[in-house]
Amino acid sequence: MTTTLPRKALLAITSYNGSFYADGTKTGLFYTEALHPYEALVNAGFEVDLASETGYYGIDEHSLAKDFLTEDDEKVLNDPNHEFNVKLNSQLHKASDLNPADYGLFFASAGHATLWDYPTARNLQHIAEDIYNRGGVVSAVCHGPAILPGIIDSTTGKSIIAGKAVTGFTTEGETMLDLLDIIKSANVSTIEEGAAEAGARYVAPPTPFADFSQVDGRVVTGANPASAKSTAVSAIEVFETL
* Positions marked active-site: 142-143, 174
Give residue 78's identity as a one-letter amino acid code. Answer: N
Residue type, 23: D
Single out the residue of 104, 85, 109 nearest to residue 13, CA to CA: 109
Is 13 within 8 Å of 52 (Cβ atoms)?
yes
Q: Give the 3-state secondary structure of 89-148.
A: HHCCEEHHHCCHHHCCEEEECCCCCHHHHHHHCHHHHHHHHHHHHCCCEEEEECCHHHHH
Q: Which of 167, 169, 170, 174 is nearest to 234 (CA)?
A: 167
Closest to 62 measured CA to CA, from 16, 26, 108: 26
DSSP 194-208: HHHHTT-EE---SST
Longest dimension (CA), the chain: 50
- Dihedral sign, Cα of residue 95, residue 115, residue 213, residue 202: negative
Q: What's 59's DSSP letter? A: B
For residue 43, with 0-12 CB atoms within 10 Å meaning exposed, 13-18 middle and 19 or more buried, which class applies? exposed
